[in-house]
Amino acid sequence: MSKIDITLKDGAVRQAEAGTTLQEIAEAISRNLAKSALVAKVDGQTVGLRHKLEHSAQVEFLTFDDAEGKDALRHSASHILAQAVKRLYGSVKLGIGPAIANGFYYDIDTAHTFVPEDLEKIQAEMEKIVKEDLPIERREASREEALRLFDEMGETYKQELIRDLPEDAVISLYQQGEFVDLCAGPHVPSTGRVKAIKLQSLAGAYWRGDQHNKMLQRIYGTAFEKKSDLDTYITMLEEAAKRDHRKLGRELDLFSIQDEGPGFPFFHPKGMIVRNELENYWRKLHVKYGYQEIKTPIILHQRLWQQSGHWDHYRNNMYFTTIDDEGYAVKPMNCPGGILIYRSQHHSYREFPLRTAELGLVHRHELSGALHGLMRVRSFTQDDAHIFCLPAQIKAEIKGVIDLFNTIYGTFGMSYHAELSTKPEKAMGSEEVWEEATAALQEALEEYGMPYKVNPGDGAFYGPKIDFHLRDSIGRTWQCGTIQLDMQMPEKFDLTYTGEDGAKHRPVMIHRTCYGSIERFIGILIEHYVGAFPAWLAPVQVKILPITDRHLDYAEKLAADMRTRDIRAAVDDRNEKIGYKIREGQLEKVPYMLVVGDKEAESGTVAVRKRGHGDMGAMPAADFVAAILAEIAAKK
């Protein structure tokens, strides 16, 4: 047999016989690689380890640490789920079963109504299939052969999927033991590689997401390579459930979502305090970083959105109205309004960089099934900024934005990582302009010394972007800040400035947000802090607890004095025992409680209880005020 060259990721070249499987190549390299590899990339295409190499190629082995490795393992787990269900419930019909973020699901059509107790039985059967260590083998079939096979199996949904494939499509089947499924793959080599499985929940799902189709039953689960990793993940989910911002939002009286406005949050007085503090902090910081605040209208004429490209690229997510028999749209983004302000006067190169910032209310139509508390809403405030600059200023401005992000995220005790997203399939502008813009972002990141990963094809339709993913206190990541470099909008709106040579030139436009959405950021902070906001953000910073009614005057005097110093102080004047008042304050997650009785009233002191620390002892009231003011100012 002929020899072929295998070029590995590190540049090393190995030889093998043509027809050797990737699994055999991994085993020849090292036993550890053979044990950890789940799939591989061959010349950039992800394939299973049973794939035979017939020609020289570049090969990269992928483990559970790689996104493709996770997907392959979890996709294989979905097939194990479907096999277990067929073993247990007989004549079920299968829909689809993909890997998803953090797990997998399978949609099933059966007369049996699944209940949570069934998940234990199904999982036990899945674990049997894992122990059987069945090879997961791929084969290709003709359209006619595949249709005949799934007709014999009574799998009508699979037949529908096959008929909808292009005529020249390669139809691949995967088999493990008695179970065969229609699937593009790839999968791990055998069921035994899926070491740790957990079925999690049940839901309904319309076939192919169409409400006119039949409702199927969806089983969700997750899978990991190691049981210890699964246990850690389940613990994190339990912790996340305690932190659910929707539950805490109700308990702490911060916000609500009403039936009369699905996806449109209502902020209650305490929630408005948190929101206003975030906005105040944002404003002060933006003044420091050289931004000017603007405000643009919520409703603007249809022709603006046609000119910006949103009409063609974003119309399905927009809301519309008619005014004086002409079409208008509720803004889904702030940038066209910011452009109109720029265009309202002439500009010189001497003004650049020109930084404008806006807390702009936007509306986007989200499907009702996608709505989720403050995390996914239809109405939210973006903390947008638009920087107009010279091409030579791009990198310096992007690094300045990263500095600003570091300051903001550090204030909340959150680390982050950056992702560079490149040209999507549907995009405005020439390839050359996209390459120039992408290179500018990449160089700025590298000069700043910031690690990043590339997300091919995930940019905005008008330019590449850097997304910032925050890590919260239990390790979850949230996409918040973004920097988008735009060389399209200035062209579309004919934006110009007068250059040093006296001629007209085109500015570069940078879009960026720090919080992303204030509503979503508040939801993230509620979960990050478990509702126990730091003193500077807390709706009630100090609660004063008089032991009896005769101490009420002293308590009210203390509160009034604190309020004159902008400390949010409240008095619990209820005729309740002091222990009860303390427990209530703890449930409300108040940073400080001050117990006052005869001794405190006579000496001008307060008995301090600090959240998370308990009784801190007595101190002069003036000393406490000075200490909390310093804590608030430092945003500890």
List, as one string, the DSSP characters of 90-124.
SS-EE----EETTEEEEEEE-SS---HHHHHHHHH
Active site residue 335: yes
Active site residue 386: yes
DSSP three-state, residue 379: strand
| CA–CA separation, 398 and 418 (whole Å) | 13
CB atoms within 10 A of CB 505: 15
Active site residue 382: yes
| CA–CA separation, 308 and 108 (whole Å) | 43
- From the list 75, 86, 355, 511, the catalytic residue is 511
- From the list 41, 465, 476, 543, the catalytic residue is 465
- From the list 74, 245, 378, 386, the catalytic residue is 386
- From the list 83, 382, 484, 488, the catalytic residue is 382
On whether the CB atoms of residues 27 and 80 are closer than 8 A, the answer is: no
| CA–CA separation, 157 and 588 (whole Å) | 51
Active site residue 480: no
From residue 400, alpha-carbon distances to 288, 345, 420, 511 in Å are 12, 26, 17, 13
Q: DSSP assignment, residue 464?
A: -
| CA–CA separation, 267 and 278 (whole Å) | 14
Question: Token match 């600003």: residue?
Answer: 404
Question: Token match 């403050």: residue?
Answer: 374
- From the list 183, 335, 480, 514, the catalytic residue is 335
CA torsion 33-34-36-40 (nearest 10°) is 90
Q: DSSP assignment, residue 239?
A: H
As a whole number of angstroms, the longest Cα–Cα distance in the chain is 99
According to the 3-state scheme, what is the secondary structure of 319-347?
EEEEECCEEEEECCCCHHHHHHHHHCCCC
- From the list 107, 383, 384, 572, the catalytic residue is 384
Q: Which residues make Cβ contacts (< 8 Å) with residue 599, sequence separation at least 6?
A: 605, 618
Question: Omega of the bond prior to 353 within 30 degrees of 0, cis?
Answer: yes
- From the list 355, 364, 543, 568, the catalytic residue is 364
Active site residue 212: no
Active site residue 465: yes
Where in the sequence numbering do the catalytic residues fall?
335, 364, 382, 384, 386, 465, 511
